[in-house]
Amino acid sequence: MFGGRVVLKVGHATFQSGAISGIIGPSGSGKSTLLSIIAGFLQPATGKVEYRDGGRLGPPTMSDISWVPQGAYLLPDRTVLDNVALGALSVGLELAVAKFTALRALEKVGLEDRGRDLASNLSGGEAQRVALARAICAPRPIILADEPTASLDRKSAGTVANILRNMPSDRLVIVATHDPLLIERCDQILDLGVS
């Protein structure tokens, strides 16, 4: 509900770890809103989000979630490596370990040679891949990605889609997208345009 108006109505949806789930729908259908609700950033007027992790059942917490926002959100005056390492530092890793983890994540997104560059010098597509690297270097079980390929060229979008596709099986990946390249790699689709 927003201003007394129903902006999103979803029946029941289940997302599985080890799979990549896509939330699709036309612009304004509530894809990003649903991601924010899953993350706990927004509270639904009715209903609830539950996350089962082994014996635990309850709403996911911030420590469960890595977020890939639409529009990167990097620290412009810091190096790419520093930005990616933030993800690992946020889960309490030591600085050296965090930087090593960040380097591995940069390799995965194909930006290992840009680690020392300032984030402000990246193109939009590179920044989006750095945001993805930041998310995957934090060992959190849920990755929520909001239009992660929106500002990428086809090659980079393919790289990002493959990275998300090949996440370890214990990770739950949910993407909000309308990119056919990413949609075709999803194991499960929630179409808000239909629901």
Partner 1 sequence: MSHLVREAMKNVFGRRSRLFPYAAAALLSSTFVVLALLAQSIDFDHEIAAAHDKGRNIFTVQSSSSDRPVVITRESCERLTGKAAVVRAGIITDRGRKNAQPLGSSIPLVAVSPTLLPQVDQGRAVVGVALHPLGAESNIVIDGVVLRAVSGLREPAGIDVNSAIAIPLGVDVVDDPRCVIEMKWNADGDDLQLALNQLHVQGGPIIAVPVFAETTSLIGGFLARSERWLPILVGCLGGLATSLAIRTRRTELAAYVFAGATRSAVATLVSLECILIGGVAAFGGVLTTLTLAPFALSPASQMFAMVAMGATWIASALPVSLQVAVVSPVELGKRR
Residues of this chain that interact with partner 1 (CB under 8 A) are 36, 39, 41-42, 62-63, 65-69, 71, 73-78, 82-83, 86-87, 89-91, 95, 118, 131, 134-135, 138, 140
Q: How near is the Cβ of 66 to partner 1 at its closest, in Å?
A: 6
Q: Are 187 and 176 in contact (CB under 8 A)?
A: no
Nearer to partner 1, 74 or 172 (CB): 74
Nearer to partner 1, 16 or 121 (CB): 121
- Bridge partners of 24? 191
Q: How near is the Cβ of 124 to partner 1 at its closest, in Å?
A: 14
One-letter amino acid of 76: P
Q: How near is the Cβ of 55 to partner 1 at its closest, in Å?
A: 24
Instruction: List the strands of the sheet with 65-68, edge to edge.
Output: 65-68, 142-146, 172-176, 20-24, 188-191
Q: How near is the Cβ of 134 to partner 1 at its closest, in Å?
A: 5
Kind and range of the H or E element at 163?
A: helix 154-165
Nearer to partner 1, 33 or 187 (CB): 33
Q: Are 144 and 174 in contact (CB under 8 A)?
A: yes
